């Protein structure tokens, strides 16, 4: 059974935090599904991931291509596990269920802590997942370091 890890972004760009988590996931040997709700936003994220720091490379693709099953990182709006992912990274307030968490090694939920709607959505997800018996952790960036602020 996996764990749901909530990451509250407060001033950090999504693509930077996502890149860090994706690199850690790949180093653990996991395939990752980045789940969003807005195709245009995922396309922008795709472009940002390709233009990362020099010397870094994150092999990834957008859902809907002929090699979806071969992508170590697949960005998409669907809940299907097209690339045999062991980790889901939910962005753009994408839905996450208890079944998603139990099927994965880890589910990361990234949200903008300065966006009231995103914060409210994340709180609702936390309550729903914990009520269904899912292990959950809440992480916040304090002075450049990620600190675990809550666990259920």
Cα(136)–Cα(126) distance, integer angstroms? 7
What burial letters (b/e) apply to 132-146, b meaning 16+ CB within 10 Å?
Answer: eebebbbbbbeeeeb
Strands 145-151 and 135-142: antiparallel
Is the pLDDT score of 144 beyond 90? no
User: Does the structural domain 3-151 have CATH classification 1.10.3720.10?
Assistant: no
Residue ranges per structural domain of the chain: 3-151
The per-residue pLDDT for range 9-50, each reduced to its tens digit, is 998 899 999 999 999 999 999 999 999 999 999 999 999 998
Read off the DSSP letter of residue 69: G
pTM score, two decimals?
A: 0.95
């Amino acid at each position: 059974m996996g764990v749901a890890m909530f990451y509250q972004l407060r001033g950090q760009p999504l693509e930077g935090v996502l890149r860090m988590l994706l690199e850690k996931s790949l180093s653990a040997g996991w395939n990752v599904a980045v789940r969003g709700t807005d195709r245009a936003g995922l396309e922008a994220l795709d472009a940002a991931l390709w233009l990362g720091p020099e010397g870094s490379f994150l092999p990834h693709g957008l859902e809907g291509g002929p090699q979806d099953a071969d992508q170590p990182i697949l960005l998409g709006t669907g809940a299907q596990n097209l690339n045999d992912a062991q980790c889901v990274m939910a962005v753009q307030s994408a839905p996450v269920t208890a079944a998603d968490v139990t099927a994965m090694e880890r589910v990361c939920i990234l949200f903008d802590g300065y966006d009231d709607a995103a914060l409210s959505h994340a709180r609702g997800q936390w309550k729903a997942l914990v009520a269904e018996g899912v292990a959950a952790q809440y992480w916040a960036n304090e002075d450049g370091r990620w600190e675990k602020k809550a666990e259920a």
